[in-house]
Amino acid sequence: MVGNPLDRALARARAFERLGDDDAYALLHAGSPRWVADGDREWSLTEEICELACRQRDRDRDRVLTWSPKVFLPVTNLCRDRCTYCTFRRDPGEAGEWTMTPDEIRQWSERGKEAGCIEALMCLGDKPEIAFRGFSAELERWGAASTAEYVGLACSLALEADLLPHTNAGLLSHDEMRNLRPVNVSFGLMLENVSPRLRARGMPHQYAPDKDPAARVSMIADAGKLRIPFTSGILVGIGETEAERIASLLELRRLHEQYGHLQEVIIQNFRHKDATPMSGFPEPTEDEFIRCVAIARLLLGPAMNIQAPPNLSPHGHARLVNAGINDWGGISPVTADYVNPGDPWPHLEDLAQTCSGLGFELEPRLPVYPEYVNDEFLDPDMRLAVERFADLPAAVAAQGGAAL
């Protein structure tokens, strides 16, 4: 194949060939203001990459974009890490510290069910019992010997309310995941970035031992060995280089090619928040982020579910669709995005209208994708729980989800 590395990468993408690592790095040149003449039309290289990304997405898919109706359960906001962009975490005794009681979990799950939710997202801080001795005593009161065990109890309560749990509890061990698998349809852990540089002095993960990339890669691999449908992704704009972004996407691709368990990859843009050490840190530009989404689609291929959170790009929905996403992730009618409290969920009607204007139907989905609903990836009880949602759009409408 002739031409420079960038042209070769684009030609491969056009031919639906698997892009190699060299192609991936060549696509970094998308940052240059190259313009391509195509008949009467002139377009930027970013537009060219986005168009190729859409061709990949649309190759074997219906014109459908999905979202997951969810209730967000912030099981505890105690966390032993201190990521410098985070407003979620608290120390014991700090204003806003909160661990949900079993009653709160039950009530919120029931409220979510009534509002049409399907997913119970268990989202919490990392390993609080290691950092805060008093927390273990609190867990013992509820019969749990560890945070992971308490999450298992929370999942059982959500299942009783006829929701499907998806756990994102930070770093979990192989045994913790094995024990939680029978009460979850999927798990999640953002890789964020594969570069250990982000844990160096002055970097966002300096005081976040659980953001060690090797440990996160190891957990994602363990999930693969346990045959757990898994959600991961990267966080764009926290001080990583473009090359580190690409390396992170390639690492996720490697993990998926080895284990076949990554059900979706989230491309999440950093939003700075007041009263954090990164409050003045520049957010990625829309162009920069869109390019990253499109490159993710090209690297991960047509079959991967690529997601971008709509509340973090409130004015960029159409551009995200045109960069090759096929999913918006969880949107809740009853709970805020506790990790990004300043970024409200979009109105579903508006989102549906944007999708429809671009030729797509907006449809609800389960927190486990159809390709993973089988005996290999789901515990028998979870298969039964999932089967209750066989007729999904009708089931959501009947529960009131259409009114979100």
Which stretches of the chain bind ligand SF4, using CB under 6 A? Answer: 79, 81-83, 86, 88-89, 125-126, 170, 208, 210
209 or 224: whose CB is closer to ligand SF4? Answer: 209
Angle at CA of residue 126, ends 124 and 127, nearest 5°: 120
Positions of E strands within 270-395: 306-307, 327-331, 361-364
Distance of CA 337 to the CA centre of its chain: 13
Interatomic CA distance for residues 393 and 374, integer angstroms: 20
Residue 139 is inside which H or E element, if any? helix 133-141
115 or 235: whose CB is closer to ligand SF4? Answer: 235
Q: How far is the CB of 297 from ligand SF4 (least distance, A)?
A: 26
Q: How far is the CB of 93 from ligand SF4 (least distance, A)?
A: 17
77 or 326: whose CB is closer to ligand SF4? Answer: 77
For residues 268 and 234, the answer to whether their CB atoms sit within 8 Å is: yes
- Please provide the DSSP assignment of 140-202 as one string: HHTT-SSHHHHHHHHHHHHHHTT-EEEEE-SS--HHHHHHHGGG-SEEE---B-S-GGGGSTT
Q: How far is the CB of 37 from ligand SF4 (least distance, A)?
A: 45
Structure tokens at 255: 């993990």
Residues 6+ apart with CB under 8 A from 380: none
143 or 342: whose CB is closer to ligand SF4? Answer: 342
85: left (phi over 0), alpha (psi -120 to 50) or beta: alpha
237 or 301: whose CB is closer to ligand SF4? Answer: 237
Q: How far is the CB of 197 from ligand SF4 (least distance, A)?
A: 17
Among the listed residues 355, 334, 304, the one whose alpha carbon sits nearest the alpha carbon of residue 109: 334
44 or 168: whose CB is closer to ligand SF4? Answer: 168
Q: How far is the CB of 109 from ligand SF4 (least distance, A)?
A: 22
Interatomic CA distance for residues 155 and 106, integer angstroms: 10
266 forms beta bridges with 233, 307
212 or 363: whose CB is closer to ligand SF4? Answer: 212
29 or 82: whose CB is closer to ligand SF4? Answer: 82
Q: 15 in helix, strand or coil?
A: coil
Q: How far is the CB of 215 from ligand SF4 (least distance, A)?
A: 12
Q: How far is the CB of 171 from ligand SF4 (least distance, A)?
A: 9
For residues 255 and 262, the answer to whether their CB atoms sit within 8 Å is: yes
173 or 356: whose CB is closer to ligand SF4? Answer: 173
Q: Is the dihedral of CA 16, 237, 317, 170 positive or negative?
A: positive
Q: How far is the CB of 166 from ligand SF4 (least distance, A)?
A: 16
For residues 291 and 320, the answer to whether their CB atoms sit within 8 Å is: no
Q: How far is the CB of 233 from ligand SF4 (least distance, A)?
A: 13
82 or 197: whose CB is closer to ligand SF4? Answer: 82
Burial class (CB in 10 A: 0-12, 13-18, 19+), 95: exposed
For residues 129 and 146, the answer to whether their CB atoms sit within 8 Å is: yes
Q: How far is the CB of 82 from ligand SF4 (least distance, A)?
A: 6
